[in-house]
Structure 1
Amino acid sequence: MDQSSRASLESVVAPHVSDVPFSLTGQGAQAGVKIALAMSKNSDVARFVTIEEPENHQSHTNLTKLLSRIENIAGIEQQLSTNPRSTKNKKYDDANIIDWFREKEKIGKLTIFESNVTWRCHPKIAEFSDSIFGPSWNFKATESKNDKVTDHDGVFLLKSEHVTEYISRFQPQCLRYSVSSGKDFNLDFMNFKVSKGLTRQRVLIVPTEPIKKFVKNGTLLEASSASSFYEAVTRAVQSVAIVIDSAGNSPIRHWIP
Structure 2
Amino acid sequence: MQYDNTLVLACAGSGKTYGMCNDSRSLSEESTKKVLMLSYTHKGIHSIKKEYAKQNNGVLDKNVVISTWFQFILKELIRPYQRSFLEKFSQIRSIDFSNMYGVDYAKRNSKSYFLNRNNDVKANRASEFALLLNILSDGAVLKRLEDTYACIYIDELQDLVGKDIELIELLFLSSIKIYCVGDYKQSTLKTHNPRTDRKKGGMHVFSYLETCRDSHRINIVKNNTSKRFVSDIADFANLVYPNEPIIGALETEEQAIGVFQILQTDVDAYIRQLKPNILKYDVKTPTLGYPSLNFGVSKGMTLERVLIFPNKPLSSFLLDPSKGLKAPDKYYVGVTRARYSLAFVVEKLKPNQYFFEDSINLDGNEIKVLRFKI
The Cα shift of 1:154 comes to 0.3
Question: Does the 8 Å CA contact 2:82/2:88 hold for their aligned counterparts?
Answer: no
Aligned residues: 233
Amino acid at match of 1:186: G
After superposition, where does 1:74-223 map in structure 2 within 5 Å? 74-79=175-180, 84-85=189-190, 86-88=192-194, 91=198, 97-108=202-213, 109=216, 110-134=218-242, 137=243, 139-144=244-249, 146-183=250-287, 185-218=288-321, 219-223=323-327
Ranges in structure 1 where 5+ consecutive residues have no aligned partner: 1-9
Of residues 41, 61, 70, the one that matches 2:171 is 70
How many Å separate the matches in 2 of 1:53 and 1:76?
Answer: 17
Pair 39,253 (structure 1): closer, same or farther in 2 beyond 3 Å? farther
The answer to whether the aligner puts 1:27 opposite 2:133 as a matched pair is no
Pair 57,107 (structure 1): closer, same or farther in 2 beyond 3 Å? closer
Corresponding residue for residue 50 of structure 1: 153
Identity %: 21
Pair 114,14 (structure 1): closer, same or farther in 2 beyond 3 Å? closer
How many Å separate the matches in 1 of 2:203 and 2:170?
Answer: 21
Q: Which has the higher mean CA deviation after the structures are superposed, 189-198 or 16-25?
A: 16-25
Normalised to the residue count of structure 2, the TM-score between the two structures is 0.53
Pair 165,254 (structure 1): closer, same or farther in 2 beyond 3 Å? farther
Q: Which runs of 4+ in 1 moved over 6 A?
A: 18-22, 53-58
Tell me how large the CA RMSD over aligned residues is.
3.6
Instruction: Specify the SS of the correspondent of 2:340.
Output: strand
Question: Does the 8 Å CA contact 1:28/1:57 hold for their aligned counterparts?
Answer: no
How many Å separate the matches in 2 of 1:234 and 1:38?
Answer: 40
The Cα shift of 1:202 comes to 1.2
How many Å separate the matches in 2 of 1:49 and 1:237?
Answer: 31
The Cα shift of 1:68 comes to 3.4
The Cα shift of 1:160 comes to 1.5
Normalised to the residue count of structure 1, the TM-score between the two structures is 0.74
**CA offsets per residue over residues 194-217 of structure 1, 9 Å max, x none?**
222222221100011111222221
Corresponding residue for residue 146 of structure 2: 40
Corresponding residue for residue 249 of structure 1: 352
The answer to whether the aligner puts 1:15 opposite 2:74 as a matched pair is no
Please state which structure has a larger fraction of its residues in strand. 2
How many Å separate the matches in 2 of 1:51 and 1:80?
Answer: 6
